Structure 1
Amino acid sequence: MTSKIWAHRGASAEASENTMAAFRRAIELGADGIELDVQRSADGRLVVIHDETVDRTTTGSGRLVEMTWEQIEPLRIVDDGRELPDERLPLLEEVLELVAPAGLELNIELKDGLEPYPGMDAQVVQAVRVARMTDRVILSSFNHVQFHGSRALGLPLGLLYVEPLWAVEDYAARFGAAAVHPDFRTLAEPGLLERLRAEAIAVNAWTVNERADIEAMLALGVDGIITDEVALALELRDGH
C-alpha cells in the first residue's frame, strides 16, 4: 500500500513548528496531511502548541492553561533563539480555515496528558464540524484514560504510544480506535502490522525523519508516516 505523508507540526524541517508558515509549507509541498497539537487557554481558546508552557517556542513565559488569549496573542514565535515578528501561536480555527480548502487530512493531537482540559475534545470536534472537515480529521492522544470518552464524539481516534504495548491489536480493537500512532521504532515486532490490519486498525508512525527510517516505513507499508522532513519523505515515496 502507499503510505500517506503527514507533516509533523507542519513542515517543521523548513518552518517553525505549529505555525501557519509550517502549515502553509506543508500544503505547498503536497503533503497528504498535517499533524498538530492543541492545548486550551484559561479563557477556553483552542491554541495550537506542543508544550504546556509558552517558554520554548515564544517570546513569553508561563503555563498556557493559566493565560488568556489576550495574553497569548501578542507573543511572537521564537525559533533557534531568533524571534519571528510575523509569526504567533495560531488558533485551531485558523488552521482549519487554512487547511479545509486545500483538501489535506488533519491529525489533531489533544495535549491532555499533563493538563486534563475537561471537554476539550468536544470543543475540538465542534470546531471541526464548523469547518466541515469531519471526514478528514483524526484525533489522537497519549492520555488513553480521558481519550476513551472521546469515542462518543464520532471522529476516528488514534492511540499514541512510545513503548511497545502487549497485544496492541486487541487493546486498540477493544478501545474502538481507528488507528494506532506508535513511535516508529516499536514496529520492528514481527507480525505486528499484519495483526493490526486483521483488526482493520491503521498504523501511523511517528516521528520518522532519517532517510533510512523513512525507507523502512515505506517498505513496511504503514498507513501514515508522520515526519518533519516532508519533502524528503515525498521524494522517497514518489521517486522524484
Structure 2
Amino acid sequence: MKTAIFAHRGSKSNRPENTLSAFEEAMHVGSDGIELDVHLTKDQEVVVMHDEKVNRTTNAKGQIKSFTVNDLKELDAGSWFSPQFRGERVPTLKEVLDLLSDFPGVLNVEFKTDHNVYPGIEEKVVRLIDLYRSNLPVVYSSFNHESLIRMKHIDPSADVALLLWERLADPWRYTEQVGASAQHLWEASALTETSAQLQEHGIKVRAWTVNKPKNMQRTFEMGIDAMITDYPEVALDLRKSFEEAKALRR
C-alpha cells in the first residue's frame, strides 16, 4: 500500500494557502488528495480559509463571520505571501469545487467549528458537495467531533475523520463510536504504535503536518495511509524513490 500524499491547504509551501492558485498547483504536481478549511460568512456563504480571522492572510482585520462574501471578495489574499500573488481572492467553497470538478483524488474538507459556532454549515457543505462532487471521494474532518456526528446524521454514508493532537487509549473504540473511518493525527502521535493499533481495527491513519523528509520517509516505512503536507511535490518524489528501492529489494 502506498502512502497517499495530501496537499495541506493546497500547495501551501509555494502558493498562498487556501487559494485557487494553491489548489491549482496541488493538482499540477499530482497530489493524491487536497485538504482545505471552511467557515461561514455573515451572509451564510461557505468560504475557504484556515483562521477564524482574516488578519494573517489578507490585508484586513476581523472575524470571517463579520464579513459578507462580497466584503471578503474585496480583500487581497495573496500579497501577504508574495507580491507575485497580489490580487488573489478569498475563494468560496463553490469556486473551489468548480476548480476541482475533475480532480480524481480525495478532497478533505475540514470544518473549522472548534472555535466559532456556524449553525448549519454541515448542511450547506453537503449540498455543495452533492452538486459538484457527488461521484468523487470526499472526507470530512474536524477537531470539533460534534460536527462529524452531525455529518453522520445528515448523511450516514459520509466519510468522516477525527482530527486529533493527542493519542487516545484504545483509540479505535472512540473512533467507531463517532462513526469515523479514520483519524487525522498530529505527526508526533501518528509516528507511534497508535497507527498500527488503529489500522489493525480497519481505521485509516493520516498524519499531519509532515514536512521533514525524514518523517515523510517514516510514514512510508510504517505504511501510514496518508500524510498531509505543505510540500506535496517533495513527498511525491520521496515516495517514488522509496517505492523504487522497495521494488529492487524484492
- TM-score bracket, shorter-length normalisation: over 0.9
Q: Is 2:163 the partner of 1:160?
A: yes
Match of 1:213 in 2: 215
For residues 24-50 of structure 1, give each alpha carbon's deviation from its aligned partner in whole angstroms, at most 9, with x where no partner exists.
001110001100000110101111000
- The normalised TM-score by structure 1 is 0.95
Identity of aligned residues (%): 35
Match of 1:70 in 2: 70
Partner amino acid for 1:205? Answer: A
Q: CA RMSD in A?
A: 1.6
Match of 1:40 in 2: 40
Partner amino acid for 2:137? Answer: R
Q: Which segment is superposed worse, 94-103 or 206-215?
A: 94-103
Counterparts of 1:175 and 1:99, CA distance in 2:
29
1:83-122 aligned within 5 A = 84-122=85-123
Task: From the superposition, tell whether residues 34 and 188 of structure 1 become closer, same or farther in structure 2 (CA, over 3 Å).
Answer: closer
For residues 116-145 of structure 1, give each alpha carbon's deviation from its aligned partner in whole angstroms, at most 9, with x where no partner exists.
111101111110000034541000000013
- The normalised TM-score by structure 2 is 0.91
Task: From the superposition, tell whether residues 133 and 105 of structure 1 become closer, same or farther in structure 2 (CA, over 3 Å).
Answer: farther
Q: Once the 2 structures are TM-superposed, how far is the Cα of residue 80 of structure 1 from its aligned partner?
A: 4.1
Gaps of 5+ in 2: 245-250
The answer (yes or no) to whether the contact 1:134–1:155 under 8 Å persists in 2 is no
Q: Once the 2 structures are TM-superposed, how far is the Cα of residue 81 of structure 1 from its aligned partner?
A: 7.1
Q: Number of aligned pairs?
A: 239
Partner amino acid for 1:71? Answer: D
Counterparts of 1:149 and 1:64, CA distance in 2:
22
For residues 44-100 of structure 1, give each alpha carbon's deviation from its aligned partner in whole angstroms, at most 9, with x where no partner exists.
111100000101000111110111112111101132475833311101111111112
Q: Once the 2 structures are TM-superposed, how far is the Cα of residue 173 of structure 1 from its aligned partner?
A: 1.2
Counterparts of 1:232 and 1:187, CA distance in 2:
20
Q: Which segment is superposed worse, 130-139 or 154-163?
A: 130-139
Partner amino acid for 2:76? Answer: R
Counterparts of 1:96 and 1:220, CA distance in 2:
33
Gaps of 5+ in 1: none
Match of 1:55 in 2: 55
